[in-house]
């Protein structure tokens, strides 16, 4: 089932009646908090299990203060751990791809299918690979590449024994993924009301010290964006393209 309506009202999401295992697959440390920090906090607060699988350690997110890429890797891994803990996430894995150079190819798709089969999530969350431009910037090629790899890995490969059968011979199982959620989309079909999680979202983002610059100015900027998006300082929404693959 794919929802195609063009008008979306924000919902307080309580549709799932059982605990879900949610795998967030993104490119860089800080992507989870920037793209869907409020939603992650909402999910963990409701008792769902959220884990991160990040392709890189973000060594090209350099600044005047943090110019050494190899040192920056260690800093960003520590920052990501601190940020995730604010949102209730402790399980973070890295594939250690070179930052900025992720490619969409068959070998990377095979690898990601294996990672998904190892973890057996109910839901996979990534970012919309069709988003070339987002509101404030050109979308990073790593974001688009990881989004495309995730879509292609989820369907049809991870759930079908006909794809990469050598993984099954090695002891992995096909994955029964129920839903795929794509963040950073300009064509959402669901918008979540994460107003109560706004403060947690900002607190988590401020743990990414190497990336945000002055924390006071950073928070002011995001409060301004919130007012622009919502018309007031009340309320905040995060938007997704949600694809339901199977009914549990």
Q: Is residue 3, in this structure, part of any structural domain at all?
A: no
∠80-106-102 over CA atoms, to 5°?
A: 35
Average pLDDT value for the chain:
92
Give the pLDDT confidence score for residue 10 in this predicted structure: 66
Measured distance CA(155)–CA(159) in Å, rounded: 7
Q: Which residues form the domain of 127?
A: 21-244
Higher pLDDT, 147 or 2: 147
1 has pLDDT over 50? no
CB within 8 Å of 97: residues ≥ 6 apart:
55, 56
Q: Is residue 172, in this structure, part of any structural domain at all?
A: yes
Give the pLDDT confidence score for residue 200 in this predicted structure: 97
Q: Is residue 10, in this structure, part of any structural domain at all?
A: no
C-alpha 91 chain-centroid distance: 14
Residue 180's closest CA among 14, 28, 3, 47?
3
pLDDT tens column, 120-170: 999 999 999 999 997 778 999 999 999 999 999 999 999 999 999 999 999
Q: Is residue 15, in this structure, part of any structural domain at all?
A: no
Q: Is residue 80, in this structure, part of any structural domain at all?
A: yes
216-243 average pLDDT score: 88
Q: Is residue 5, in this structure, part of any structural domain at all?
A: no
Number of structural domains in the chain: 1
Q: Is residue 13, in this structure, part of any structural domain at all?
A: no
pLDDT tens column, 4-14: 334 456 666 77
pTM over 0.85: yes
Q: Is residue 187, in this structure, part of any structural domain at all?
A: yes
pLDDT tens column, 81-131: 999 999 999 999 999 999 999 999 999 999 999 999 999 999 999 999 999
Question: 51 with 57: CB under 8 angstroms?
Answer: no
Give the pLDDT confidence score for residue 11 in this predicted structure: 64
68-81 average pLDDT score: 96
Measured distance CA(149)–CA(245) in Å, rounded: 17
pLDDT tens column, 34-57: 999 999 999 999 999 999 999 999
* CATH code, domain carrying 159: 3.40.50.10320
Burial (Cβ within 10 Å: 0-12, 13-18, ≥19) of residue 109: buried
Measured distance CA(207)–CA(8) in Å, rounded: 32
pLDDT tens column, 178-215: 999 999 998 999 999 999 999 999 999 999 999 999 99
């Amino acid at each position: 089932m794919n929802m195609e309506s063009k008008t979306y009202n924000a919902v307080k999401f309580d549709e799932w009646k059982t605990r879900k295992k949610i795998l967030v697959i993104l490119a860089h440390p800080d992507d989870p908090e920037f793209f869907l920090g409020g939603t992650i906090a909402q999910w963990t607060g409701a008792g769902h299990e959220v884990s991160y699988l990040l392709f890189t350690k973000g060594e090209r997110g350099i600044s005047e203060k943090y110019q050494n890429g190899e040192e920056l890797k260690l800093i960003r891994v520590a920052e990501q751990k601190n940020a995730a803990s604010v949102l209730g996430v402790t399980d973070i894995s890295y594939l250690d791809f070179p930052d900025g150079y992720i490619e969409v190819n068959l070998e990377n798709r095979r690898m990601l299918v294996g990672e998904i089969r190892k973890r057996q999530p109910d839901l996979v969350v990534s970012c919309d690979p069709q988003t070339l431009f987002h509101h404030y910037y050109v979308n990073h090629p790593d974001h688009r590449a990881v989004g495309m790899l995730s879509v292609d890995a989820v369907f049809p490969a991870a759930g079908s024994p006909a794809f990469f059968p050598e993984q099954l011979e090695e002891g992995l199982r096909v994955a029964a993924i129920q839903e795929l959620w794509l963040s950073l989309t300009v064509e959402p079909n669901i918008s979540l009301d994460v107003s109560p999680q706004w403060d947690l979202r900002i607190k988590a983002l401020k743990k990414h010290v190497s990336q945000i610059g002055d924390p006071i100015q950073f928070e002011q900027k995001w409060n301004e964006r919130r007012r622009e998006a919502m018309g007031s300082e009340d309320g905040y929404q995060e938007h997704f393209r949600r694809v339901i693959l199977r009914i549990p």
